[in-house]
């Protein structure tokens, strides 16, 4: 923007400035002899100050300052020992420094309060017992010798020891697969924990299990526009990776397999999904009963016939009827 006419004459054309070299000062920075003499001159301190004499010994000087000579010598000796120890421990090469660092990592900390007391010749635990100081909460009285021997003789249960080991497995006799359990998750830690739990449950239920076998990952990607119209190029990418494990049950009874799956579903871990494929095998006699009419309550030809007959026998006993007399199920109470 141009300046108004009334101010153009006052502003005038801009003048260029020529750079100039700095001039050396007329006085140098060196002090004169008189200035140095004034600085070096001793100025006595105010108060009861008495300069030391060259003929005074160390004890006399400490006495003038009001310092105990024995305490001063003790502190001076400990400081000199610490300096000598530090000089001896100072590594000279990189190899020595690395060796000292590895040794420090393997040794306990010596700078704790208890270690400092012990180096000073003080036993805190012994001193506390002499003065009658007890631990907060009181100390537990020692057990008698017989009880202690019985406790020492107790053996840790095998199932408790097995928690820190790999899951036990049962060998399959025929190797016929009856169930494939697939675990899926987005967090590998949750799935590994639940797979270990499933293998242990299969062992204690008498099922031969194989796995967990890692399956290929499922990678899914999406590109979503952040806005529409002219902002179509502003897009955002998303990715989801699904990790899978496979556990196969072989030579297992179908009822036990269903009970195992129900147990896992009851104690299912968060973030882990399950999908099971079950195969059931029937005898050739089942083909001869195809197309026959089955009346209500008939168990002939069913796999659960023996179990259902036993349940019916228990329910028909007079003792069971007497014990259940007057009892109503929750569904009957609502009527």
Here the CATH number for the domain that contains residue 201 is 3.30.70.600
Beta strands in the chain (DSSP E): 177-185, 209-225, 235-250, 272-278
pLDDT given at position 89? 78
Establish if 231 belongs to a structural domain.
yes
Establish if 65 belongs to a structural domain.
no
pLDDT given at position 262? 93
Number of domains in the chain: 1
DSSP conformational letter for 15: P
Q: What is the DSSP string of 254-281?
A: HHHHHHHHHHHHHTPPTTEEEEEEE---
Q: Going residue by residue through the chain, which has 335 residues, state the pLDDT in tens, using 9 for 90 and above.
A: 454 454 444 444 555 555 555 555 544 444 555 555 555 554 544 445 455 566 778 888 888 888 888 888 888 888 888 888 888 878 888 888 888 888 877 766 666 677 777 777 778 778 888 888 876 666 677 788 888 888 888 888 887 888 788 888 898 888 899 999 999 999 889 999 999 999 999 999 999 999 899 999 999 999 988 887 888 788 899 999 999 999 999 988 888 999 999 999 999 998 999 999 999 887 777 667 666 676 776 766 666 777 778 888 888 888 888 888 777 766 555 54
| Cβ–Cβ under 8 Å, residues 168 and 138 | no
**If residue 224 lies in a helix (H) or strand (E), which one and from where to where?**
strand 209-225
| Cβ–Cβ under 8 Å, residues 249 and 182 | no
pLDDT given at position 163? 79
Establish if 251 belongs to a structural domain.
yes
pLDDT given at position 243? 93
Establish if 84 belongs to a structural domain.
no
pLDDT given at position 53? 62
pLDDT given at position 21? 53
Burial of residue 194 (CB within 10 Å: 0-12, 13-18, 19+) is buried
Structural domain of residue 233, as residue ranges?
165-283
Whole-prediction pTM: 0.46
DSSP conformational letter for 327: -
Establish if 320 belongs to a structural domain.
no
Query: Tokens 């299990």 appear where?
Result: 209
Contacts of 292 (CB under 8 A, 6+ apart): none
Dihedral Cα 151, 152, 153, 154, nearest 10 deg? 50
> Can you tell me the distance from the alpha carbon of 201 to that of 282, in angstroms, rounded to the nearest whole number?
26
Establish if 128 belongs to a structural domain.
no
Query: Tokens 């009957």 appear where?
Result: 332
Establish if 41 belongs to a structural domain.
no
Per-residue pLDDT reduced to its tens digit, 108-118: 666 667 777 77
pLDDT given at position 47? 47
> Can you tell me the distance from the alpha carbon of 61 to that of 47, in angstroms, rounded to the nearest whole number?
18
Establish if 260 belongs to a structural domain.
yes
pLDDT given at position 54? 65
Q: How far is CA 300 from CA 91, 196, 312, in A?
A: 89, 40, 14
């Amino acid at each position: 923007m141009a300046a108004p006419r009334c101010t153009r004459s006052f502003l005038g054309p801009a003048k260029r400035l020529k750079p100039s070299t700095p001039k050396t000062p007329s006085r140098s920075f060196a002090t004169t002899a008189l200035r140095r003499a004034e600085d070096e001159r001793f100025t006595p301190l105010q108060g009861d100050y008495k300069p030391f004499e060259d003929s005074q010994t160390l004890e006399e000087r400490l006495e003038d300052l009001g310092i105990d000579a024995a305490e001063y010598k003790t502190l001076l000796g400990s400081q000199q020992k610490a300096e000598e120890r530090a000089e001896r421990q100072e590594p000279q090469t990189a190899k020595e420094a690395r060796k000292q660092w590895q040794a420090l990592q393997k040794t306990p900390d010596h700078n704790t309060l208890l270690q400092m007391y012990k180096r000073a010749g003080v036993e805190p635990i012994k001193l506390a017992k002499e003065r009658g100081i007890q631990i907060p909460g009181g100390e537990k009285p020692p057990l008698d010798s017989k009880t202690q021997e019985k406790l020492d003789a107790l053996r840790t249960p095998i199932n408790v020891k097995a928690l820190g080991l790999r899951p036990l497995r049962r060998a399959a006799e025929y190797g016929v697969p009856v169930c494939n359990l697939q675990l899926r998750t987005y967090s590998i830690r949750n799935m590994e924990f639940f797979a270990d739990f499933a293998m242990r449950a299969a062992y204690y239920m008498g099922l031969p299990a194989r796995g967990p076998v890692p399956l290929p990952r499922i990678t899914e990607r999406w590109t979503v526009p952040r806005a529409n119209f002219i902002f179509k190029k502003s897009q955002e990418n998303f990715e989801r990776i699904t990790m899978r494990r496979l556990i196969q049950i072989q030579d297992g009874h179908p009822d036990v397999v269903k009970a195992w799956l129900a147990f896992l579903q009851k104690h299912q871990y968060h973030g882990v999904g399950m999908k099971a494929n079950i195969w059931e095998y029937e005898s050739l006699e089942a083909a001869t009963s195809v197309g026959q009419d089955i009346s209500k309550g008939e168990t002939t030809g069913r796999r659960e016939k023996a179990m259902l007959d036993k349940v019916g026998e228990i329910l028909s006993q007079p003792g069971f009827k007497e014990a259940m007399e007057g009892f109503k199920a929750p569904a009957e109470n609502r009527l």
